[in-house]
Amino acid sequence: MLELAQTIKGHTKVSFESSKRVKSGETAIEWREDTTAAAGKKGTLEIPDTIDLGMQVYEGGAPYKLTARFRYRIGGGALLLGYVLERAGDVKRDAFGQVVQQVAADTEMDVWHGTP
């Protein structure tokens, strides 16, 4: 990941395909963007679609395996990198449920969600 972040290069090619007048008198232009990206010192490092992460949802809690979709975009002369976590809500709910179970076990009391 470090090598990918340090060596990623991208290129966007835009080609205008057609132009037509619409009923309102305006002109509609259609274009196509092709983005390519490469990484590595020789441009041969494969850029992954997904990244597996091991993370704790809550401090001191059990680690979870999360899959993140790697995203990149070229816009305004800048390369933007990011990720989108898959099923993050499910992982958060499960981690919270484990914390609730632990609190109930440690205190030997019922844990209520919301109002009784």
Q: Are residues 82 and 39 part of one domain? A: no
Burial 63-87 (b: 16+ CB within 10 A, else e): ebebebeeebebeeeeeeeeeeeee
Q: Are residues 92 and 71 part of one domain? A: yes
Q: Are residues 55 and 36 part of one domain? A: no
Average pLDDT, consecutive stretches of 10 residues, N- to C-terminus, the chain (116 residues): 70 73 75 71 72 89 89 74 88 91 91 78
Q: How far apart are CA 5 and CA 75, in angstroms?
A: 17
Our measurement of the distance from residue 95's CA atom to the centroid of its chain's CA atoms, rounded to an integer in Å, reads: 20
Q: Are residues 86 and 33 part of one domain? A: no
Q: Are residues 112 and 68 part of one domain? A: yes
Q: What is the pLDDT of residue 1?
A: 67
Q: What is the pLDDT of residue 11?
A: 67
- Give me the percent of the chain exceeding a pLDDT of 70: 83
**Residue 67 forms beta bridges with which residues?**
52
Q: What is the pTM for the complete model shown?
A: 0.54
Total domain count for the chain? 2
Q: What is the pLDDT of residue 14?
A: 73
Q: What is the pLDDT of residue 86?
A: 92
Cβ contact 29:16 at 8 Å: yes
Residues 6+ apart with CB under 8 A from 8: 37, 38, 39, 47, 72, 79, 81
Q: Are residues 113 and 93 part of one domain? A: yes
Q: Where are the beta strands (DSSP E) in 7-111?
A: 9-21, 27-38, 50-56, 63-75, 78-85
Collapsing DSSP to helix, strand or coil, 69 comes out as strand
Q: What is the pLDDT of residue 94?
A: 92
Show the domain range for 10: 1-19+27-44
Residue 106 amino acid letter: D
Q: What is the pLDDT of residue 90?
A: 92
